[in-house]
Structure 1
């Protein structure tokens, strides 16, 4: 008959920690003789002596000490797995730590709707363009722009976005409307700088289907999108903005698109979370909600 390894490991660990079969039996609710027999069977199966025994006490052998460290980790992992499975049956609740890029501020209506639907979930939101380590920094889920290649993470694609070059009608009336990418050299360009790398965001300009690099005349640089949009609407220059961020200003006539036929890009957006753990109700609720809200074109 196969050994009850978890029972035997539990008996061994309790005996090692208390240095007593009697105390181990009391903690586990069984007799000291049953503890002793379980340990003996374990030793026979392993082919190694785990304890030095005397009439007064038991002490670990060198092999027993090494084995104890492994067993404690195994049982701790089992307790975590059991707790996660138990939580998986419960209603979504608890703290949910989410990482988002700065443009994720525009997702606040969806995040507020999520909070309204799941009042027992406490949202902790971190907005940053820094590339966070999801697992090591303790995030439950992260929304990230671009490709993700990490076998430790589970990924769901959300709706991506494209960029548009925009300017205020007053600026175009004053400076003229660029007809080709080369014309940007004589315009005031409002540029975005990545906080993580310090590099300027490249404008995705194409001529005859091929990418081109234009020497842009910069009038302002910011490491956030909102200031660029505010400056563009105030007539300070031309800005490259995500389409979903500029949409309301374009519809209201505060901004006008330029060089549409020369701008071509698509930014992927992913929702990801640690795959090594059982999906908890709070994580599953967040993933399902966000996929429903912004995974089908409804931002």
Structure 2
């Protein structure tokens, strides 16, 4: 602490070019400033100031040392601000971009709103690749790998796809046992909104089942209509496990050909890298990481 006091005396004197002005700023005598700087010069083994009766000026070594000291005090101020933020209640608008399938995350997002009522969620649902920083998002949830070095990232959880149908549908059309059996079924397909292509169904062993090999009863660019149709017995759908977990538990959907599908993915949350992570972003990241996949994992 004595060293920091000497550094502070040096910075004040260097910026004011006066021991007297520095003493008034720090509330000590000019002689105390002079002694503190003299001890600092003795310890460093260099002269920091050229002294005269009216003014003091920095030596080249003093000018270099002043820049380093400014950085030190800037880091201390930054640390104090971070600690102050951890004590403040998270609040304010939080802009979040989610994929279209993110509508299925609404129970978790609703729970977050109840837990942090002072945070206003501004949700944007899109499957396009957004520029987190340039478009002003506080956080983005996406699948796949993170590639932007300007962003921090945290894994929220992994998911796999399941073939599901309603009990009434299977009672009428039979239960498929292998991929080839799907040729006799009504298939409800997901279409990528970014390019209009139908999502292939990937089976163990690396085999794809393209759209042309599957009788397609309906397509949708979002998951919710497929869930609606499959629950009403209109066909078989290939959906993320977190979207159908509760419905399988409730018995409104049945999973078939378990272990045959090989498609899986990972959800990540990304946010701008910053030394001062806003409390609203910190609690959102922690909450989503803890709760988003908790129900699917723990039942």
Q: TM-score, normalised by structure 2?
A: 0.66
Q: Of 32, 44, 57, which aligns to 1:34?
A: 32
Q: CA deviation at 1:8?
A: 2.0
Q: Which residue of 2 aligns with 1:19?
A: 17
Cα distance 1:116–1:62, how it changes in 2: closer, same or farther (>3 A)? same
Distance in 2, Cα, partners of 1:205 & 1:62 = 70
CA contact (8 A) 2:162 2:255 kept: yes
Superposition map of 1:42-61 within 5 A: 42-61=40-59
Size of the aligned set, in residue pairs, is 289
Partner secondary structure for residue 201 of structure 2: coil
Distance in 2, Cα, partners of 1:98 & 1:71 = 37
Cα RMSD for the two superposed structures: 4.9
Larger mean CA deviation between 91-100 and 169-178 belongs to 169-178
Query: Deviation digits for residues 163-209 of structure 1, max 9, x if unmatched?
Result: 123468999999997653246679766345485x9997653312xxx
Partner secondary structure for residue 162 of structure 2: strand
CA contact (8 A) 1:222 1:228 kept: yes
Query: Deviation digits for residues 38-94 of structure 1, max 9, x if unmatched?
Result: 223223322333333333333333333332222222211111212322443x35323
CA contact (8 A) 2:97 2:137 kept: no
Distance in 2, Cα, partners of 1:67 & 1:138 = 38
Q: Which residue of 2 aligns with 1:241?
A: 239
Q: Of 72, 79, 82, which aligns to 1:81?
A: 79
Q: Of 95, 106, 109, which aligns to 1:108?
A: 106
Q: Which residue of 1 aligns with 2:203?
A: 205
Superposition map of 1:107-126 within 5 A: 107-123=105-121, 125=123
Partner secondary structure for residue 204 of structure 1: strand
Distance in 2, Cα, partners of 1:54 & 1:136 = 52
Q: TM-score, normalised by structure 1?
A: 0.66
Distance in 2, Cα, partners of 1:71 & 1:285 = 34
Distance in 1, Cα, partners of 2:227 & 2:27 = 68
Distance in 2, Cα, partners of 1:216 & 1:117 = 43
Partner secondary structure for residue 26 of structure 1: helix
Q: Which residue of 2 aligns with 1:163?
A: 161
Cα distance 1:221–1:51, how it changes in 2: closer, same or farther (>3 A)? farther
Distance in 1, Cα, partners of 2:62 & 2:219 = 63
Q: CA deviation at 1:10?
A: 1.8
Q: Which residue of 2 aligns with 1:190?
A: 189
Partner secondary structure for residue 93 of structure 1: coil
Superposition map of 1:129-168 within 5 A: 145=143, 155=154, 160-166=158-164
Distance in 1, Cα, partners of 2:37 & 2:220 = 67
Cα distance 1:52–1:128, how it changes in 2: closer, same or farther (>3 A)? farther
Q: Which residue of 2 aligns with 1:215?
A: 210
Unaligned runs of 5+ in 2: none
Q: Of 60, 63, 75, which aligns to 2:61?
A: 63
Distance in 1, Cα, partners of 2:272 & 2:228 = 37
